[in-house]
């Protein structure tokens, strides 16, 4: 974080500063901002965030031991009078206030550009693509993993310095008002809306509600900002009417400003033609598997092109990416000829269907296809219907073998059996180790294995275990 005095921090977050036995109001904090005491280093500012399982106030002593300069707390801790404490009503809101203040301070003296990305799917991949491109031309801050909620997004913003040229922020939906809240903190110069899908449908109550939450980003952009929209998605396309910002589209339709044509998917990657606004065409081959990632690449290219980055730099960076991120269509070719696609970091009905379509397409080369599927979390009342539908999709796509893991995903297996007259093509296992043993026993050279589930199902570790060739 940029250097800020304790007094300035307290004012920025509407807190009461109690200095303690050392330091002063003018003591500068220039270390990292942390909510995990284990990550605290000398000079860090520790936010004692209350949690569902434990309370961050219990870890203030550990933060002190690791060298924290001060702690932001919701109640004064008299036994910790050797460290400055800033008392606030809500630690999480205070974190957001500090992030907004830091960005405002940096923007006052620099030309920092902030890119805010939202969408039901593709945020992390698009963010990583933008990091790969923009870091070629200037210091770029982008969150690790999926740091996109009311804690993770401000945490990422606070890594920005006066030397940062680009800040890429994921804006995750946590309910009505959540994206509006993060947008007010980040104040993006460029907003990107990728897709409105069925992720979180159980939490929000329906796709229409999800669309309204995603639309909170466009609605809060100003006339000086730029909004980049997926023209292939009707919900996203309609958001153009909700903003004063300038608008540009990407997609596969003929009227998209940044357009992709000529998709060609092989086991080695995804090729397509990128049509730029002035009719120039670039041929790209992504190492990342899946036609759905073409849309993410289009979005990243549109942002970068609008920022003035060389198209040669854009295409080279996109083609050089070995994977979107660990456990996101992560492809490994084993020495015995088996290919494992580990896409088990996150899963929604839309992303699972896209991954299965990729697997089916790759199977057209004559290789046997195996789908190992687990629960798609956070679907609520739609869970039964959507898991059943995925099972039926596996049959319709002619996937050769389905392995379903975990009681919460059993309806995938049942849906597959209802859809087709299979004789053992679908297997169900309650335990991961049982599924792993079965798969290891059936694999043959040339097989393509897709592992797909939400993170909570832990199939990503099964995917990692499949990389080991057992004799």
- In the chain, the domains with their CATH numbers are 4-88 (3.40.1390.10), 110-320 (3.40.1190.10), 330-465 (3.90.190.20)
Paired sense of beta strands 281-286 and 16-18, if any: unpaired
* Residue-level pLDDT at 414: 93
Which helix (H) or strand (E) segment holds residue 155: the answer is helix 152-157
Which residue reads 């003018």 in tokens? 26
Which helix (H) or strand (E) segment holds residue 392: the answer is helix 383-396
Q: Coil, strand, or helix at residue 358?
A: helix
The 3-class SS string of 82-138 reads: CCEEEECCCHHHHHHHHHHHHHHHHHCCCCCEEEEEECCCCHHHHHHHHHHHHCCCC
Angle value at C-alpha 188, between 240 and 34, nearest 5 degrees: 140
pLDDT at 202 over 60: no
Say if residues 39 and 49 touch (Cβ distance below 8 Å).
Answer: no
pLDDT in tens, 325-347: 677 788 889 999 999 999 888 88
* Residue-level pLDDT at 67: 94
Residue 245 CA to residue 428 CA, distance in Å, equals 50
Weakest mean pLDDT among 374-378, 418-422, 453-457? 418-422
pLDDT in tens, 16-38: 999 977 778 999 999 999 999 99
Mean pLDDT of 147-166: 93
What's the number of CA atoms in the CB half-sphere (13 Å) around residue 67?
11
Mean pLDDT of 297-309: 98
Weakest mean pLDDT among 187-191, 193-197, 237-241? 193-197
* Residue-level pLDDT at 174: 81
* Residue-level pLDDT at 422: 61
Residue 410 CA to residue 252 CA, distance in Å, equals 35
| Mean residue pLDDT across the chain | 92
pLDDT in tens, 242-296: 999 999 999 999 999 999 999 888 888 899 999 999 989 999 999 888 888 899 9
Say if residues 276 and 305 touch (Cβ distance below 8 Å).
Answer: yes
Residue 434 CA to residue 245 CA, distance in Å, equals 53
Say if residues 91 and 74 touch (Cβ distance below 8 Å).
Answer: yes
Which residue reads 């570790």 in tokens? 461
pLDDT at 311 over 80: yes
Angle value at C-alpha 360, between 202 and 388, nearest 5 degrees: 30
Q: Pick from 366, 306, 337, 343: which is nearest to 454 by CA?
A: 343
Res. 409 pLDDT band, cuts 50 70 90: very high
Mean pLDDT of 357-364: 92
Residue 111 CA to residue 148 CA, distance in Å, equals 23
The 3-class SS string of 51-81 reads: CCCCEHHHHHHHHHHCCCCEEEECCCCHHHC
Angle value at C-alpha 311, between 187 and 195, nearest 5 degrees: 50
Beta bridge partners of 261: 273
Weakest mean pLDDT among 52-61, 182-191, 416-425? 416-425
pLDDT at 210 over 90: no
Mean pLDDT of 136-143: 94
**Length of the chain in terms of residues written:** 471
Say if residues 222 and 183 touch (Cβ distance below 8 Å).
Answer: no
pLDDT at 145 over 90: no
Q: What percent of the chain has pLDDT over 70?
A: 96
Which residue reads 């945490």 in tokens? 155
Res. 51 pLDDT band, cuts 50 70 90: confident
* Residue-level pLDDT at 203: 61
Dihedral (Cα; 352, 356, 359, 365), 10-degree rounding:
-160
The residues, any chain, with a CB within 8 Å of residue 177's CB and separated by 6 or more, are: 216
Structure tokens that stand for 94 in this block? 């205070």
Res. 199 pLDDT band, cuts 50 70 90: low
Say if residues 186 and 116 touch (Cβ distance below 8 Å).
Answer: yes
Say if residues 225 and 245 touch (Cβ distance below 8 Å).
Answer: yes
Angle value at C-alpha 314, between 308 and 319, nearest 5 degrees: 175
Mean pLDDT of 42-62: 91
pLDDT in tens, 379-400: 888 889 999 999 999 999 999 9
Q: Coil, strand, or helix at residue 184?
A: helix
Res. 85 pLDDT band, cuts 50 70 90: very high
* Residue-level pLDDT at 249: 98
pLDDT in tens, 111-126: 999 999 999 888 888 9
* Residue-level pLDDT at 471: 47
Paired sense of beta strands 190-193 and 166-170, if any: unpaired
Structure tokens that stand for 141 in this block? 């801050």
Each residue of 373-396: b (16+ CB within 10 Å) or e? bbbbbbbeebbeebbbbbbbbbbe
Task: Please give the sequence-ordered ranges of beta strands (E in DSSP) within 222-306, or none if there are none.
Answer: 226-230, 246-251, 258-266, 269-275, 281-286
* Residue-level pLDDT at 124: 87
Structure tokens that stand for 373 in this block? 């599927």
Which residue reads 């977050």 in tokens? 13
Angle value at C-alpha 233, between 451 and 326, nearest 5 degrees: 30
* Residue-level pLDDT at 11: 98
């Amino acid at each position: 974080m940029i250097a800020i005095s304790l007094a300035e921090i307290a004012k920025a977050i509407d807190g009461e500063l109690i200095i303690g036995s050392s330091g002063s109001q003018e003591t500068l904090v220039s270390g990292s901002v942390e909510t995990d005491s284990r990550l605290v280093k000398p000079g860090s500012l520790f936010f004692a965030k209350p949690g569902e399982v434990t309370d961050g106030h219990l870890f203030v002593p550990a933060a002190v031991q690791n060298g924290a300069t001060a702690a932001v707390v919701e109640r004064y801790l008299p036994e910790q009078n050797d460290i400055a404490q800033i008392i606030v009503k809500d630690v999480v809101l205070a974190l957001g206030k500090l992030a907004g203040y830091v960005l405002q301070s940096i923007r006052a003296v620099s030309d920092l550009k902030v890119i805010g990305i939202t969408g039901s799917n593709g945020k992390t991949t698009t963010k990583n693509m933008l990091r790969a491109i923009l870091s070629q031309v200037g210091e770029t801050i982008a969150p690790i993993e999926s740091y996109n909620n009311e804690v993770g997004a401000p945490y990422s913003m606070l890594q920005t310095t006066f030397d940062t040229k680009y800040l890429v922020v994921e804006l995750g939906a946590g309910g009505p008002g959540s994206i509006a809240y993060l947008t007010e903190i980040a104040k993006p110069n460029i907003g990107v809306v990728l897709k409105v899908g069925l992720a979180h449908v159980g939490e929000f109550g329906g796709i229409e509600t999800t669309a309204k939450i995603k639309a909170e980003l466009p609605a809060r952009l100003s006339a000086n900002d730029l909004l980049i929209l997926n023209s292939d998605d009707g919900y996203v396309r309609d958001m153009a009417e909700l903003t004063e910002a300038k608008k540009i589209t990407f997609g596969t339709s003929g009227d998209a400003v940044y357009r992709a044509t000529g998709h060609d998917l092989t086991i080695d990657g995804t090729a397509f033609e990128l049509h730029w606004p002035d009719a120039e065409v670039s041929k790209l081959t992504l190492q990342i598997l899946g036609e759905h990632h073409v849309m993410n690449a289009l979005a990243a290219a549109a942002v970068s092109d609008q920022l003035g980055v060389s198209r040669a730099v854009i295409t080279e960076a996109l083609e050089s990416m070995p994977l979107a991120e660990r456990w996101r269509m992560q492809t490994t070719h084993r020495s015995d000829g088996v290919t494992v696609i580990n896409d088990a970091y996150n899963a929604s009905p839309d992303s699972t269907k896209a991954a299965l379509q990729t697997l089916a397409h790759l199977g057209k080369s004559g290789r046997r296809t195996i789908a190992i599927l687990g629960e798609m979390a956070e679907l609520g009342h739609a869970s039964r219907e959507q898991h059943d539908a995925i099972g039926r999709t596996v049959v319709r796509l002619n996937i050769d073998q389905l392995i379903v893991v975990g009681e919460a995903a059993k309806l995938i297996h049942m849906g597959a059996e209802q859809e087709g007259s299979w004789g053992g093509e679908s297997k169900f296992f309650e335990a991961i180790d049982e599924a792993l043993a079965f798969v290891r026993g059936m694999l043959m050279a040339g097989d393509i294995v897709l592992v797909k589930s939400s993170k909570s199902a832990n199939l990503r570790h099964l995917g990692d275990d499949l990389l080991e060739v057992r004799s």
